[in-house]
Structure 1
């Protein structure tokens, strides 16, 4: 099992796929930048260059509208490594056609090949993301997605630099170098793809509907079934909107507002790309190897904060023209601009990686490819809207590029608040993430191995502090419906988090028998729906640090529905400021140790048909040991 995301790069189940998608992203951008280089090499007029540069993105994005629905079905039906080999073989054929275009200097052939490249990317997109939940464990999804996003960002940047330098360095030999490079890169990607291990089809018996219009409607409807997935897709599409507006302005921004040339444009794009890559790979560390959507609000508001600062860092024209990156950095305020661009990219990584992981983890395995295809259609719509809006606000309203950045920052906050309002789980997870990661150093053992990836299960754990449910929620990749004493459930501020997490309040039979019965009914309904329910069978917080006898309520649950039971234990929580250790002494609740280490330990599930309260109590006592 990989202990961190970088160990995945040493394993065959991930490395060949990672290299294949990196080669593809690199080659796509080498090709597109080489086309721009050829336009200058041929001495085409600025008007014609503008026509081609506007037509090229449209041709590349068009297949996403036309063929995403079909691509999603194919990715669902075929074995995934086979489909990847097919798409990389297509890339060799397409780049061979593009090579003819470079050698003959024929723009029509190059644009036809660019459309075919978009088609190949459309076919590859659904399998690119649907293969990850097939080959990675749930606790590896965030790290794996982070590596993929990091690799994509760096490959895009490197491809743009390499492609942009071909005609500048090779001169008259530029067409030959461009043609040779794109074919060799396509061949390399295909050879690497042949090492990808077999990954079974999600729905091998699926009957493909070749009519794209009704199928597009069908998969878009499929992607909207779960509110969290639906709004995660909306978040990813919004990420593409923000990224498109930002990156499309960078060439002119580097020239007009920073006073540089094409070299400075590559530099500022590199800052953004590196920031995105670093943010992507940090997600696993920050989330403690769970699908932590609490990072999404952090990412959204971080993007806006740095974008607002970018506006104030330089809202007008460049104070002077610069010819080198060093000359730019020597100007007052330039380091601030550089840090803002890195910060925007960093928080963009925090924003998008958990969204991809959530989509993959919450979507049924036989629907992932089609849901990703639906996301690609929506992404394409947002990219086109971003390109059109970026042009409109500058030409019709006369906005400067810094003003566009400021407006985008404000719009980003508005959209984020909208998403978090209609799906409070995002904000709830953010608040619980801040609380848990701020107060404790969380160490998790066995959770990823023993908590089932899907299906109903009952979690039983010792109860030490008011933070126990939040700590367990931060440790378990899947959403958990916690059963908790109604007085804890009603604690101000925390109650909002508990309600949003769909916790189940319960009372003792003598306190409120009606609430107690309602709780047992809700527990059974949740288990019937295949959810995970978490309970603290002691019935209340420990008063002396020891584990109290488990009550019979757990047996009552299992009598109605004998689901697997996962014993878990919290260790080192008795000294927490939220326990009852010093409450009887009237001691002020202040941290005794900042970010104290806390452990969560899980054991293999027990058959619910044979489990009883004494057995489960003994297992939890053994797991906790002496570390109260």
Structure 2
């Protein structure tokens, strides 16, 4: 995938863009701060804060419009146009840098931010169109790694450029050559025409931004993913902004140690992004998200507990070499690196989740809404830091501790609002820690539209394992007694589970179940039913009850046969006694989930469906 034309030119293009943005922005700030203070018509502090504001302002003004544009024209053509615009901006920047015209450089920084605001939605919405579903997490991992390493290299390179003998000339040459290289790389991106209905494009900066946010809020799971990503940017912006003073006041260190801290954090995010790709086993997997959440809190707190004793500080400030040489600093360095790793585990599955769940033709607008909320959170992080460190009088250590603890509260809120996140985590633990689950035929699950999954029923955890095999949410039709079990009731309460029982037990529940199944299929949901109507008492496939025929007679939809293998004899099955009452005898045993191609056209009867599932159960692994 990486070396294919559908990914590599785009990857190089976006990395060069992120690198150029950060070199130009940081060169401007460093030149103002250290070189030409007297030539500014305003104070240095005001100029620096103004520069930060003019770079982020375009994300509020233009992201909504950028999302609509990216969804409605060829993405490759749009990228080339944006990279050509970057080349024009950087050509003007060459003149501004060489003439030391800092106000012109500030205006060009606004234009650079505008170009980035338009590039953001197409940058992420391109991936689900260019990559296969099983490549989506890998693609996002590469993008996050490339982005953060570009930020790191750009920030460090800016310092080297400004400290060089011919700073202005070097800076002008570098930003122009990077822009030119980015444009040339974009020429190799293959055509990516718009998906879905073409819409009329209107430019409404403020109302458009609010409209984008209002649109994604209609899908609570995507909205919560956006809030979670924005919280990470809140954390990251706070850490990166406070690193210089943190290093000076609490580590007794100089500028080179600040660069070291930035490198540990950025490289950690890159490593976490690829670790996420490994742990996700090639598909969009929210189950790894809690590991990132836990790491942000645990390592964030431990980093502060690992701070050195001020009594041991030398007279001179530490440089990077001296800082690394002190063994007392190794725990802190490891913790900061792991905060970055946890961040990578946190954001990669969330970006992939938004891309996989956004409606076709609307992914860029969802990403645009994400960018708007991200920018808002970063602005709030700066304001909150000023209030807490200034007016309230907190120390940077106390601020970092508050953020680490608040992270746990934010995670609790998100998981309360979207129970699917919790279900995915439990499913992940079952699939990869308690069992070794192998899924065959995952692409046979329809990516969109209604579908009815029919599967054998072996254990109390069948639904959770099947959920882990699908990137789409699934509505399960489940025996009422199982859906109300104390251990599983919380997971199923808000998962859209449809309880059912025999008409002899409760005719009202029975009839209502079929009405809810039909309504779910009518709105395009994926529904799973266990046609045996009970857990297997002997491990063999039982007869299918006529309820499945009743469902299909009301609403003929594609039927996806599925078979669970290897669960008979587990703690959650009825072998050697009632499930959950015997002593667990197996751990990390092999389990298979085989999925057959969907049956379309004439609705099969229950006997034909049973034969399909039986064939899957007897097929070789």
TM-score bracket relative to the smaller structure: over 0.9
- 1:151-230 alignment to 2 at 5 Å? 151-168=146-163, 170-171=164-165, 173-202=166-195, 205-230=198-223
How far is 1:424 from its partner? 2.5
Query: Could you tell me which residue of structure 2 aligns to residue 98 of structure 1?
Result: 93
Separation (CA, whole Å) in 1 of partners of 2:138 and 2:530: 31
**Aligned-CA RMSD value:** 2.2
- 1:271-286 alignment to 2 at 5 Å? 271-286=264-279
Gaps of 5+ in 2: none
Separation (CA, whole Å) in 2 of partners of 1:389 and 1:315: 27
Query: Could you tell me which residue of structure 2 aligns to residue 298 of structure 1?
Result: 291
Q: 2:236 aligns with which of 218, 234, 243?
A: 243
Separation (CA, whole Å) in 1 of partners of 2:488 and 2:497: 11
Query: Could you tell me which residue of structure 2 aligns to residue 510 of structure 1?
Result: 504
Call closer, same or farther: CA 1:177–1:57 in 2, change over 3 Å: same
Report if aligned partners of 1:572, 1:627 keep a CA contact under 8 Å in 2. no
Query: Could you tell me which residue of structure 1 aligns to residue 24 of structure 2?
Result: 31
How far is 1:140 from its partner? 2.9
Gaps of 5+ in 1: 1-7
Call closer, same or farther: CA 1:10–1:623 in 2, change over 3 Å: farther
How far is 1:41 from its partner? 5.6
Report if aligned partners of 2:571, 2:580 keep a CA contact under 8 Å in 1. no
Report if aligned partners of 1:420, 1:427 keep a CA contact under 8 Å in 2. yes
Q: 2:593 aligns with which of 586, 600, 603?
A: 600
Residue 549 of structure 2 is aligned to residue 549 of structure 1: no
SS of 2:584 mapped into structure 1: coil
How far is 1:228 from its partner? 1.0
Call closer, same or farther: CA 1:308–1:485 in 2, change over 3 Å: same
Deviates more, 1:454-463 or 1:33-42: 33-42
Q: 2:487 aligns with which of 479, 486, 493?
A: 493
Separation (CA, whole Å) in 2 of partners of 1:497 and 1:140: 29
Separation (CA, whole Å) in 2 of partners of 1:271 and 1:586: 46
Query: Could you tell me which residue of structure 2 aligns to residue 534 of structure 1?
Result: 528
Report if aligned partners of 2:251, 2:308 keep a CA contact under 8 Å in 1. no
Query: Could you tell me which residue of structure 2 aligns to residue 4 of structure 1?
Result: none
Call closer, same or farther: CA 1:595–1:199 in 2, change over 3 Å: same
SS of 1:105 mapped into structure 2: coil
Query: Could you tell me which residue of structure 2 aligns to residue 580 of structure 1?
Result: 574
Query: Could you tell me which residue of structure 2 aligns to residue 401 of structure 1?
Result: 396
Separation (CA, whole Å) in 2 of partners of 1:203 and 1:97: 38
Separation (CA, whole Å) in 2 of partners of 1:507 and 1:124: 53
How far is 1:40 from its partner? 5.4
Residue 468 of structure 2 is aligned to residue 474 of structure 1: yes
- 1:362-401 alignment to 2 at 5 Å? 362-401=357-396
Q: 1:114 aligns with which of 109, 112, 123?
A: 109
Task: Please give the TM-score of this superposition, normalised by the length of structure 2.
Answer: 0.94
Query: Could you tell me which residue of structure 1 aligns to residue 253 of structure 2?
Result: 260
Deviates more, 1:111-120 or 1:430-439: 430-439
How far is 1:563 from its partner? 0.5
Separation (CA, whole Å) in 2 of partners of 1:344 and 1:599: 35
Separation (CA, whole Å) in 2 of partners of 1:577 and 1:146: 36
Deviates more, 1:68-77 or 1:327-336: 327-336
Separation (CA, whole Å) in 2 of partners of 1:316 and 1:423: 43
Deviates more, 1:83-92 or 1:104-113: 104-113
1:128-149 CA distance string (max 9 Å, x none): 1111222223333223222211
How far is 1:50 from its partner? 2.9
Residue 292 of structure 2 is aligned to residue 287 of structure 1: no
SS of 2:527 mapped into structure 1: strand
Query: Could you tell me which residue of structure 1 aligns to residue 126 of structure 2?
Result: 131
SS of 2:437 mapped into structure 1: strand
Call closer, same or farther: CA 1:584–1:115 in 2, change over 3 Å: closer
1:301-348 CA distance string (max 9 Å, x none): 321121111222228757334543342133353111111111211111
1:4-50 CA distance string (max 9 Å, x none): xxxx2122222221221111111111212222342356253799443
Separation (CA, whole Å) in 2 of partners of 1:386 and 1:18: 29
Separation (CA, whole Å) in 1 of partners of 2:607 and 2:323: 71
Call closer, same or farther: CA 1:521–1:336 in 2, change over 3 Å: same
How far is 1:493 from its partner? 2.1
Call closer, same or farther: CA 1:246–1:316 in 2, change over 3 Å: farther
Separation (CA, whole Å) in 1 of partners of 2:325 and 2:557: 65
1:205-259 CA distance string (max 9 Å, x none): 3112223222222222112111111111111211111111111111221222222
Separation (CA, whole Å) in 2 of partners of 1:156 and 1:627: 49
Separation (CA, whole Å) in 1 of partners of 2:201 and 2:44: 41
Report if aligned partners of 2:549, 2:606 keep a CA contact under 8 Å in 1. yes
Deviates more, 1:399-408 or 1:594-603: 594-603
Separation (CA, whole Å) in 2 of partners of 1:16 and 1:579: 51
Separation (CA, whole Å) in 2 of partners of 1:499 and 1:464: 21
Report if aligned partners of 1:315, 1:403 keep a CA contact under 8 Å in 2. no
1:180-229 CA distance string (max 9 Å, x none): 11111111111111111211214563112223222222222112111111
Report if aligned partners of 2:19, 2:153 keep a CA contact under 8 Å in 1. yes
How far is 1:478 from its partner? 0.3
SS of 1:568 mapped into structure 2: strand
Query: Could you tell me which residue of structure 1 aligns to residue 344 of structure 2?
Result: 349
Separation (CA, whole Å) in 2 of partners of 1:10 and 1:538: 48
SS of 1:609 mapped into structure 2: coil
